[in-house]
Structure 1
Amino acid sequence: MNSTSPWMTPELESFRDAVRRFVSAEIVPHQETWKKQQHVDRAVWSKAGEMGMLLADISEDFGGSGGSFAHQCIVFEELSYVGDTAFGLHVHAIVAHYLLNQGTEAQKKKYLPKLASGEMIAAIAMTEPGAGSDLKGIRTTALKDGDAYVLNGSKTFISNGYMADLILVVAKTEPAAGAKGVSLMLLETRDCPGFRVGRILEKLGQKGQDTCELFFDGVRMPLDSVLGGVEGKGFAQLMNELPYERTIIGVSGVASIERALRLTVEHARERKAFGQALIEMQNTRFLLAEVKTEATVARTFIDRCIVDMIEGRMDTELASMAKYWISDLQCTTIDKCLQLFGGYGYMMEYPIAQMYADARVQRIYGGANEIMKEIISRSL
């Protein structure tokens, strides 16, 4: 793990211990239940809010814990170290940062304390059935009608969609204006006529995460629902905030790689074949040497990204590199590790099999890796 990371401090180590205890007590025991019901229990959000985990890197002025990006990274890492993919804190934190950096003062004061406490759960609705990574191709509209905006359209693959009380909806407020007509709309879902949550989608992995379809049929929203208070800023707001999302995908990915290595080393020491432990076979040792080297390189890279985020200099290009390269590595590393488990690696009761299924989407959400390469290539 990362006790030698340059951003770690004694205070952060103490915070990690507290988070680890919370995750062990409040997350791990419920994982199987959450998979079966396809969503987490709301109670865990309130408990995490009390503990200060939900908005660990947002100022106390807005109800957060007043820490840095390092504090939030520790939360993401500890969730990955136990293999949790159900608790949708990542998306929740992403929405909070849209509010923090792009919202009006009134929007920040209204929503951030509720997100910090767990009173409200947040989601972001970008993807549509006909428009995945192509955000310019969205069809959902939010058009002015007297003293309100009227929201029409649908979204799919929305994490936290079933649980969300606050959804940041990407919509066109001026459909003819292309990217300049995109706005981000703040939708409160409780007692909201015209808003409907579709089915919780059956996924390859991440079974406990409530990924949904959402439908908007003439939903009336107040005029102060536009994030930042000005129409047409949505595309720029997305571009400004996506590096945060992509960096935390990298953070979770590296922690997952480290977990896969640890589990596989333990298995290789215990498992016997042909009269000796797997770890004693040269093929096993060489493969694990490769994985350890790759994990170390990935840790060094993500540590640099974390420091850049803490110091406010992370850019779109580096975040895209972290997202694409680490998520690719996560998938290939877990595949290598699974092979050493033999037939047991294909059994879902073994964590490595669950990790294999859960990892695949890392290369898709947050912007498909092909999009990441396109962004990186523009700097050549």
Structure 2
Amino acid sequence: MSTPPAVSPEDFRPILELVRDFVRTKVVPREQEIADSDAIPDDLRKQVAEMGLFGYAIPQEWGGLGLDLTQDVELAMEFGYTSLSLRSMFGTNNGIAGQVLVNFGTEGQKAEWLERIASGEVVASFALTEPGAGSNPAGLRTRAVRDGDDWVIDGQKRFITNAPIADLFVVFARTRPADETGPGIAVFLVPAGTPGVEVGVKDRKMGQEGAWTADVVFSGVRVPGSALVGGDEAAGYRAAMTSLARGRVHIAALAVGTAQRALDESVAYAASATQGGTPIGDFQLVQAMIADQQTGVMAGRALVRDTARRYVSGEDRRIGPSAAKLYCTEMAGRVADLAVQIHGGTGYMREVPVERIYRDVRLLRLYEGTSEIQRLIIGGALIRNERTGR
């Protein structure tokens, strides 16, 4: 049995309406400004903080809104409707970084960080990916060695979202070699100003302008024993897997929102653009492309909602999240490709929304577990379940 959400459906409805209005009236008109400046304008960031979006998934006792995953995905579908960098600014606070603290942090760690994360005063960054370890954390090479009551961390992280503006790094490091008892991975809270933490230059990416990522190097970074999340070395790998599974459902919803935007842009263009004096939307082959887009969006939305419900109830927190991320991110890529095709040469031009969407959605199939990793998780889990009789 799942517990009732902290925010009732009646109270959530105006929150969702507020977010939808903000996205479509305040952010959509400024997408080109975001792309050109490669940054989220300060006034938009301030509005996001005032709306409580830096902490919408953080429990109310720590200053957040306390939305559960079924509500999270509804917001994510709205965030996906505009530049994905907006969501990236506060997504880690609510998602993979914030949830590590919510689910595995000690009471002292929660008291020190969660309220500031929920308010947006602190930007948290999830430092897991490395040059040789991405979708599968088991390949982690960053090391943490105990030195008296402290820990000393050495290693390099790559593609770390919000690293250039982060106040807190949630760092995954190996404390011992993996063996039959576990992978030997722990999680540490490392303030960005700690000596030995070096953030590299901002990455130049194919898309998602305004969402900043960078390498982070930890050279002899000393943190106190209280920095060990949960006060337990064994919590690290569980924290990573739990946060990533939840995050995959969120990314799937984000993909649905972006696909909906690509579909809406396609329909509007097809209804107005003409060839030989005839609106291209009257051509059956264009209608067929729009039909495929609509079918994908509808299927993705239904899958995301069902997956979120089953995650919250505890019925499925492994196969479903991977299936939703796999299907929805691949679907968004197909819908974006069709959107460019429907627009013809216009769709290849910068400053046209579908051109940006085409580049932005490509990343969705890579981060928080590639499509290939999702297939391995789904297939492997189904076979194991059959063998164990589950």
Counterpart for residue 304 of structure 1? 306
Counterpart for residue 84 of structure 2? 84
- 1:180 and 2:183 equivalent? yes
Distance in 2, Cα, partners of 1:144 & 1:230: 13
Structure 1 residue 200, shift from structure 2 partner: 0.7
Structure 1 residue 16, shift from structure 2 partner: 1.7
SS at match of 2:200: strand
Distance in 2, Cα, partners of 1:286 & 1:115: 46
SS at match of 2:164: coil
**Within 5 A, what are the aligned runs for 1:218-229?**
218-229=220-231
SS at match of 2:187: strand
Distance change in 2, residues 1:25/1:115 (3 Å): farther
**Within 5 A, what are the aligned runs for 1:1-380?**
9-24=9-24, 27-28=27-28, 31-40=31-40, 44-88=44-88, 89-94=90-95, 95-175=97-177, 177=179, 179-189=182-192, 191-378=193-380, 379-380=382-383
Structure 1 stretch displaced more, 327-336 or 60-69: 60-69
Residue pair 1:141, 1:175 contacting (<8 A) in 2 also:
no
Structure 1 stretch displaced more, 271-280 or 29-38: 29-38
Structure 1 residue 173, shift from structure 2 partner: 1.5
Residue pair 1:268, 1:277 contacting (<8 A) in 2 also:
yes
CA deviations on 1:234-287 (whole Å, 9 max, x unpaired) are 112222222111000110011111111111000000100122001111111122
Structure 1 stretch displaced more, 128-137 or 105-114: 128-137
Distance in 1, Cα, partners of 2:29 & 2:149: 48
Q: Which amino acid counterpart does residue 124 of structure 2 have in structure 1?
A: A
Distance in 2, Cα, partners of 1:14 & 1:74: 12
Distance in 1, Cα, partners of 2:279 & 2:254: 31
Distance in 2, Cα, partners of 1:71 & 1:177: 39
Alignment coverage as a number of residue pairs: 373
Q: Which amino acid counterpart does residue 242 of structure 2 have in structure 1?
A: N
- RMSD of aligned alpha carbons: 2.2
Distance in 2, Cα, partners of 1:25 & 1:290: 28
SS at match of 1:171: strand
Distance in 1, Cα, partners of 2:105 & 2:130: 24
Residue pair 1:86, 1:207 contacting (<8 A) in 2 also:
no
Q: Which amino acid counterpart does residue 61 of structure 1 have in structure 2?
A: E
Q: Which amino acid counterpart does residue 76 of structure 2 have in structure 1?
A: F
Distance change in 2, residues 1:23/1:287 (3 Å): closer
CA deviations on 1:18-55 (whole Å, 9 max, x unpaired) are 12343356644654444345443566545423312222
Consecutive unaligned residues of structure 1, counting only runs of 5 or more, are 1-6
Counterpart for residue 4 of structure 1? none
Distance change in 2, residues 1:251/1:87 (3 Å): closer
Consecutive unaligned residues of structure 2, counting only runs of 5 or more, are 1-6, 384-390
Structure 1 stretch displaced more, 74-83 or 160-169: 74-83
SS at match of 1:241: helix
SS at match of 2:163: coil
Distance in 2, Cα, partners of 1:217 & 1:86: 31
Q: TM-score, normalised by structure 1?
A: 0.92
Distance in 2, Cα, partners of 1:119 & 1:334: 35
Distance change in 2, residues 1:313/1:202 (3 Å): same
Sequence identity percentage: 31
Q: TM-score, normalised by structure 2?
A: 0.89
Residue pair 2:23, 2:81 contacting (<8 A) in 1 also:
no
Distance change in 2, residues 1:297/1:316 (3 Å): same
Distance in 2, Cα, partners of 1:106 & 1:30: 40
SS at match of 1:200: coil
Structure 1 stretch displaced more, 68-77 or 347-356: 68-77
Structure 1 stretch displaced more, 130-139 or 39-48: 39-48
Distance in 2, Cα, partners of 1:361 & 1:8: 34
Q: Which amino acid counterpart does residue 80 of structure 1 have in structure 2?
A: G
